């Protein structure tokens, strides 16, 4: 079937060939206007309106998608409140998927802080009020024995990626129970907006085992189970059943991204499943890759070789341990031994500096390798003065922990101190971009988990980078789905980190950025996916055969087009009709 191919501009610098697909949808009449996957709003042509039986159900004007985008943006700007913008965009997603993704993709710098951190955090906290229409699947602890049946209720068979949470650690906001569903939905929106993963391949899932937040359980609008969190054997059985049911329903190559699980479950489940399922934990592994990429970029500014740096983490949880582990891999790759490398990586948890002989006793297994032979210390300022880090990384959700004094001290001992305030949302950041720059006389090399606006310091405008796993997981998922990668190894994340770091130019660095601008995220994700796929084929991790001869162009064909499909069958689809007509003449 001949397709009408034309070009559409995406973001500031990306342009992909887009094919207008032609096909007769199974749904017609008013149902097609109610289906967000098929709905074209005012952009149904006159012929389509007549053919599909919706003529007269729309106002008579005919618009194209550009006019619809204009209309959406006019509405978007009218709202003064980000939560209102969030609700508006969710309603758009429920109305017209293609329009939603076109708007979000083309305006990613404006839209990401709404559909993702920080606003998604607020939306989760108020999810009962925000909730309009269900999206994805809710599985509860009472569904043990029936998980597969629930997955069968999902109307699409072709699911290739799931983002799942149990809501125990939503951003740095704690246990939000079923209100945490905003996170898998937001993450999967970024799969498509940032990397072009087909939305119908994506499925958000909430595993509701209760919540330990009494406030939420007593919220009259709460959408989840009003019971304390279930743990232990029942919890494990449910997750085990869920993993098996996903494979049975969607196949063994369906990616399962774990998101915002509580610390203990996150590490435990990753270890349990990483070698048996197509899975990764975004908070541990995705965060690791984005942070290591930022660290690699920072070396170009500090001019200190990777293996000569001293790293201090505030936090020794999923994010920090994930980063520290991948950092070990990156540093040892330079040839430096493990023992020396570990001497340069220090962590702090809620009990203070991570040391071997703790008065409080045992250390969790994942922290053990980083524990030092050192007297216990608790005060952050004193620890910073003692450890003298070149790079300080915050991932403890302790808002404002990097004080002016700490930052000034870092600037005293480093020409260019590297400061990562990774905690989300913005209210949990260890310091603001402004404080990082002003307290260090503009010398800080800074990145944050949630976005901060540019800061002008003594005439120089600095753009803080967003050290968020959103630079990794969409491209990583695209690679996994495209190349049929079935085990997501640490080396794939290191390949992703190295690929992301390579995309940072001198121009970016001179603007203060440790990552390419978000406006180029489509290009970034595509490059990253290509690098990961290439690595996967080289290391026998990709099962798609034959290997595409041109991975990049195959990837471009694979990704989602925001162009509307045409629902008018071409004349040459009906040869008998044409023949009958001409023979009558
Ligand atoms: N930018 C990004 O892409 C990402 C950012 N994050 C953010 O990082 C933060 C932490 O997430 P995550 O690591 O998953 O959470 P975890 O709960 O796994 O870890 C939190 C860590 O912080 C420690 N901690 C808590 N309070 C203090 C304190 N007062 N002083 C020192 N340490 C403290 C905890 O100590 P203990 O071990 O003793 O309990 C724990 O080690 C969140 O805000 C999250 O949003 C997470 C993932 C990605
Ligand atoms: C970004 C992210 O995954 C988090 O803050 O949990
Ligand atoms: Mg997360």
Ligand 2 centroid to Cα of residue 492, in Å, is 20
pLDDT, tens only, 190-247: 999 999 999 999 999 999 999 999 999 999 999 999 999 999 999 999 999 999 999 9
Looking from the CA of residue 187, the nearest atom of ligand 2 is 3
C-beta of 170 in contact with ligand 1 (< 6 A): no
Task: Please provide the average confidence, as pLDDT, over all residues in the chain.
Answer: 93
Q: Flag whether pLDDT at 470 surpasses 50.
A: yes
Q: What's the rounded Cα separation, in Å, for the pair 106 and 520?
A: 10
pLDDT of residue 8: 31
**In this model, does residue 29 exceed pLDDT 80?**
yes
| 3-state SS track over 429-441 | CCCCHHHHHHCCC
Tell me if the pTM is above 0.90: yes
pLDDT for residue 11 is more than 50: no
pLDDT of residue 360: 75
Q: How far is the CA of 121 from the centre of ligand 2 (A)?
A: 10
Tell me which residue of 561, 485, 465 sits closest to 529, measured CA to CA: 485
Band the pLDDT of 357: cuts 50, 70, 90. Answer: confident
Q: Which of 14-28, 58-72, 174-188 has the lowest mean pLDDT?
A: 14-28
pLDDT, tens digit, 9 for 90 and up, residues 71-113: 999 999 999 999 999 999 999 999 999 999 999 999 999 999 9
Beta strands at 352-353 and 345-349: parallel, antiparallel or unpaired: antiparallel
Of the pLDDT bands very low, low, confident and very high (cuts 50, 70, 90), residue 7 is very low
Nearest ligand 2 atom to alpha carbon 423: 5
pLDDT beyond 70 at 272: yes
Q: Compute the distance between CA of residue 95 and CA of residue 33 in angstroms, rounded to an integer.
A: 8
Q: How far is the CA of 401 from the centre of ligand 1 (A)?
A: 12
Closest protein CA for atom 2 of ligand 1: 468
Q: Which atom of ligand 1 is nearest to the CA of 322?
A: 13
Residue 260 annotated as lining a ligand binding site: yes
Please check the confidence at residue 539 and state whether its pLDDT lies above 60.
yes
Structural domains in the chain, CATH included, are: 4-63 (1.20.1370.30), 132-277 (3.40.50.10380), 285-471 (3.40.50.720)
Contacts of 271 (CB under 8 A, 6+ apart): none
Ligand approaching nearest to the C-alpha of 259 = 3
Nearest CA to ligand 2 atom 5: 171
Q: Is 82 annotated as a binding residue?
A: no
Question: Side-chain half-sphere of 181: how many Cα atoms within 13 Å?
Answer: 27
The residues placing their C-beta within 5 Å of ligand 3, an ion, are: 260, 283
Catalytic residues: 116, 187
Going from the Cα of 358 to the center of ligand 1, the distance in angstroms, rounded, reads: 20
| Ligand 1 contact, 526 CB (< 6 A) | no
- 288-347 pLDDT, tens digit each: 999 999 999 999 999 999 999 999 999 999 999 999 999 999 999 999 999 999 999 999
């Amino acid at each position: 079937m001949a397709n009408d191919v034309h070009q559409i501009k995406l973001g500031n610098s990306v342009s992909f060939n887009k094919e207008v697909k032609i096909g007769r949808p199974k749904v017609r009449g008013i149902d097609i206007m109610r289906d967000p996957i098929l709905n074209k709003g005012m952009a149904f042509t006159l012929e389509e309106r007549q053919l599909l039986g919706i003529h007269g159900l729309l106002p008579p004007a005919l618009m194209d998608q550009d006019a619809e985008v204009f209309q959406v943006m006019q509405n978007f700007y009218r709202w003064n409140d980000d939560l209102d913008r969030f609700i508006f965009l969710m309603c758009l997603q429920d109305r017209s998927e293609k329009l939603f993704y076109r708007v979000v993709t083309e305006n990613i710098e404006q839209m990401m802080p709404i559909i993702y951190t920080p606003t998604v955090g607020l939306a989760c906290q108020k999810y009962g009020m925000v909730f309009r229409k269900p999206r994805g699947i809710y599985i509860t602890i009472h569904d043990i024995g029936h998980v597969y049946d629930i997955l069968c209720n999902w109307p699409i068979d072709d699911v290739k990626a799931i983002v799942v949470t149990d809501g125990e650690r939503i951003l740095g906001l704690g246990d939000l129970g079923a209100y945490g569903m905003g996170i898998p939905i937001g993450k999967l929106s970024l799969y498509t907006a940032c990397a072009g993963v087909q939305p119908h391949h994506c499925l958000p899932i909430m595993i509701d085992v209760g919540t330990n937040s009494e406030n939420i359980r007593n919220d009259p609008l709460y959408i989840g189970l009003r019971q304390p969190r279930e743990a232990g054997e029942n919890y494990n059985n449910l997750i085990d059943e869920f993993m098996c049911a996903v494979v049975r329903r969607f196949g063994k190559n369906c990616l399962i991204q774990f998101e915002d699980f509580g610390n203990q479950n996150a590490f435990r489940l990753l270890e349990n499943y990483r070698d048996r399922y197509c899975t990764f934990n975004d908070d541990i592994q995705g965060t690791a890759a984005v942070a290591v990429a930022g660290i690699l970029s920072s070396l170009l500014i500090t001019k200190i070789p990777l293996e000569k740096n001293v790293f201090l983490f505030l936090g020794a949880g999923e994010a920090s341990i994930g980063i520290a582990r991948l950092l070990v891999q990156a540093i040892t790759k330079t040839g430096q031994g493990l023992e020396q490398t570990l001497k340069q990586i220090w962590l702090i948890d809620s009990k203070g500096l991570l040391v071997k002989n703790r008065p409080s006793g045992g250390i969790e297994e994942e922290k053990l390798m980083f524990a030092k032979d050192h007297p216990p210390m608790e005060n952050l300022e004193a620890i910073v003065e003692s450890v003298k880090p070149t790079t300080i990384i915050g991932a403890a959700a302790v808002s404002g922990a990097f004080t002016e004094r700490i930052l000034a001290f870092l600037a005293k001992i480093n020409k260019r101190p590297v400061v990562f305030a990774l905690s989300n949302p913005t209210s949990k950041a260890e310091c603001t971009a402004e404080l990082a720059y002003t307290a260090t006389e503009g010398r800080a090399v800074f990145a944050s988990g949630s976005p901060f606006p540019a800061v002008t310091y003594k005439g120089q405008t600095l753009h803080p980078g967003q050290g968020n796993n959103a630079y990794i997981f969409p491209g990583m998922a695209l690679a996994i789905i495209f190349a049929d990668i079935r085990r997501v190894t640490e080396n794939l994340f290191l390949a992703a980190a190295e690929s992301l770091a390579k995309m940072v130019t001198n121009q970016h660095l001179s603007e203060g950025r440790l990552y390419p601008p978000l406006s180029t995220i489509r290009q970034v994700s595509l490059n990253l996916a290509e690098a990961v796929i290439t690595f996967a084929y080289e290391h026998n991790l990709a099962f798609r055969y034959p290997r595409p001869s041109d991975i990049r162009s195959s990837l471009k064909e694979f990704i989602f087009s925001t162009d509307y499909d045409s629902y008018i069958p071409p004349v040459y689809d009906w040869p008998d009709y044409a023949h009958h007509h001409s023979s009558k003449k």
